[in-house]
Copies of this chain bind each other. A is one copy, B any other.
Amino acid sequence: MAAPWAHRYAQRTKSVKSSIIRELLKLTQRPEVISFAGGLPAPEVFPVARFQEACQRVLATQATTALQYGPTEGYRPLRELIVAQMGRYGIVATVDNILITSGSQQALDLIAKLLINRGDRILVESPTYLGALQAFDLMGAEYVTVPVDDDGLQTCNMEQALRSGPKFMYILPNFQNPGGVTLSRKRRDELVELSDRYGIPIIEDDPYGQLRYEGEHISPLVVLDRTNLARDNGYKLGNVIYLSTFSKVLAPGLRVAWIVAPPDVIAKLVQIKQSTDLHTSTFTQMVVYEAARDGFIDEHVKLIRATYKERRDAMLSALNDYFPPEVSWTHPHGGLFLWVTMPPGVDSSRLLELALRQNVAFVPGEPFFPNGDTGSHMRLNFSNAAPEQIREGIRRLSIAVAHELEHRGAEIMV
């Protein structure tokens, strides 16, 4: 039953799509289901003892700061730690370039509030991260899309999209969610050149950058940005706003992430964040700082990489063993996801029903395409299940796929 005053809802709420991923996650919490649907880190790699020490230290020595209201910009030692950490990846910034956010999802909300007027076009990869579309939808965004292949965004196919006047570009260069693909160095150079030529800023979302399992690190767009390199007058950074998070290298339950942007953009985002939630929990910021400091993340990430590489390999090898030749998939060099493409005519919602009957779950591809479905896809997460579960899950999923391929055949014959 709707509220008697439901007619008072704002226009923007009509466009709020229910998150298919989160609704699915509810259905797949039965213990017998092997779920490739979520984007959950492996709980086995949470550094629990490190967090215990961190909490103990924060509350023993700085409790009144940790439990009190704090500055909107974030806890300064944490911002300094982020600056130092990013410097190792070539990102030259100061604390004035950093805003702490309540997870990267909030970074997307704040940026949407900063930049999107109802009806503005945003240039996104197709497919792209569903959560970004949801944040942008809420401020009334429309989309212009550029397709993705194994080398990421097809920069050779984007001039028309750029000429249509997008407000900004939203790009996931590393181990893209959902595609699992990585933007090549050549295309990164082309992209920042296009950004400069058209004067269109880039939001670079990089939650998984440190989780690479093969190949060489490629410089982020914020480092390659020509407008950034061109400046020598004290203006820090240029056309790229860079986002990253502690969710994948420490734990997502803390909700601590950050934005890197020019200081005047950070100042605007700070005002918006004030109005949005005053500040991110002082306590969790201090706990993250204590857990991350003294080089802990660099050490810990080795364990995460080893664990996830084994799981990715288990999934690739099971797909190879069980899946029919008409189905193809990406080979992610890092991150949490792999993207499966099925032959034309496969109904991925019906496939999900069949899969759930086999006690295995995935996310259908449709919601990742802002301007409607293009083909039939599954997003598979490989970080959350153990290798033997992954193999068993892919075996079950192959049964559902075989049924669906048959069924599709039957329909075509009729």
Cβ-defined contact, B16 with A105, below 8 A: no
Contact B38 A63, beta carbon cutoff 8 Å: no
Whether the Cβ atoms of B51 and A10 lie closer than 8 Å is no
Residues of B near A60 (CB, < 8 A) are 52
| Chain B residues in 8 Å Cβ range of A109 | 275-277
Given A69-B252, A167-B8, A264-B2, A277-B64 contact (CB < 8 Å): no
> How many copies, total?
2
Determine whether the beta carbon of B271 is less than 8 Å from that of A18.
yes
A91 to chain B: closest CB distance in Å? Answer: 17
Residue of B nearest to A139 (CB): B10
In the bound complex, do residue B72 and residue A46 qualify as a contact, i.e. CB atoms below 8 Å apart?
Answer: no
Asked if B1 and A105 make an inter-chain contact with CB atoms under 8 angstroms apart, the answer reads no
Q: Chain B contacts of A18 at CB under 8 A?
A: 271
Is residue A56 within 8 Å, beta carbon to beta carbon, of the partner chain?
yes
CB pair B282–A116 under 8 Å, yes or no, is no
Residues in B whose Cβ lies below 8 Å from that of A238: 4
Q: Indicate if A278 sits at the interface (CB-CB under 8 A).
A: yes
Contact partners of A118 in chain B: CB under 8 A: 118
Task: Let me know if A302 is at the binding interface, CB within 8 A.
Answer: no
Q: Specify which chain B residues have a CB less than 8 angstroms from the CB of A139 in the assembled complex.
A: 10
Q: Which residues of B contact A251 (CB under 8 A)?
A: 67-68, 283
CA separation between A13 and B17, bound complex, in Å?
25
Known: A8-B201, A239-B4. A131 touches B46 (CB 8 A): no
Is A135 in contact with B276, judged by CB distance below 8 angstroms? yes
Is B227's CB under 8 angstroms from A253's CB? Answer: no
With known contacts A63-B46, A68-B253, A134–B275 Cβ distance under 8 A: yes
Which residues from B are CB-within-8-Å of A4? 199, 227, 238-239
Contact of A275 among B38, B67, B117, B131 (CB under 8 A): B131
A95 at the interface (CB under 8 A from B): no
Task: Evaluate contact between A265 and B3: CB separation under 8 angstroms.
Answer: yes
CB neighbors of B among A1-32 (8 A): 1-6, 8-13, 16-19, 22, 26
Q: Please tell me if A106 contacts chain B, counting CB pairs below 8 Å.
A: yes
Docked pose: A40 CA to B71 CA in angstroms? 12
**B63 near A51 (CB under 8 angstroms)?**
yes
Interchain CB contact under 8 A, B5 and A201: yes
Hey, which chain B residues are within 8 Å of A17, CB to CB? 271
Residue contact A43 to B59, C-beta cutoff 8 Å: no
Query: A147 contacts which chain B residues (CB < 8 A)?
Result: none
Q: Which B residues lie within 8 Å of A71 (CB)?
A: 22, 26
Encode A131-154 as 1/0 by CB contact (under 8 A) with B.
Answer: 100110111000000000000000
**Chain B residue at minimum C-beta to C-beta distance from A26:** B71
| A277–B103 touching, CB < 8 Å | yes
A255 sits at the interface (CB 8 A):
yes
Check if B102 sits within 8 Å of A102, measured CB to CB. Answer: yes
Whether A3 contacts B40 by the Cβ 8 Å rule is no
Using known A-B contacts A10-B139, A199-B5, A201-B8, determine if residue A281 contacts B278 with beta carbons closer than 8 Å: no
Q: Tell me if A208 counts as interface (CB < 8 A to partner B).
A: no
Once bound together, how far apart are the Cα atoms of A246 and B103, in whole Å?
21
Task: Report how far A115 CA is from B10 CA in the complex, Å.
Answer: 5
Complex A-B: 23 CB contacts under 8 Å? A1-B264, A3-B201, A3-B264, A6-B264, A10-B114, A10-B139, A11-B117, A22-B274, A40-B68, A52-B60, A66-B253, A67-B252, A67-B254, A102-B255, A102-B280, A105-B275, A106-B277, A109-B275, A131-B274, A135-B275, A135-B276, A276-B276, A284-B284
Give A residues with C-beta under 8 Å from B.
Answer: 1-6, 8-13, 16-19, 22, 26, 38-41, 43, 46, 48, 51-52, 55-56, 59-60, 63-72, 102-103, 105-106, 109, 113-118, 120, 131, 134-135, 137-139, 167-168, 199-201, 227, 234-235, 238-239, 251-255, 262, 264-265, 268, 271-272, 274-284, 287
Given A4-B199, A16-B268, 7 other A-B contacts at CB below 8 A?
Answer: A5-B201, A40-B68, A48-B67, A102-B277, A251-B283, A283-B287, A284-B284
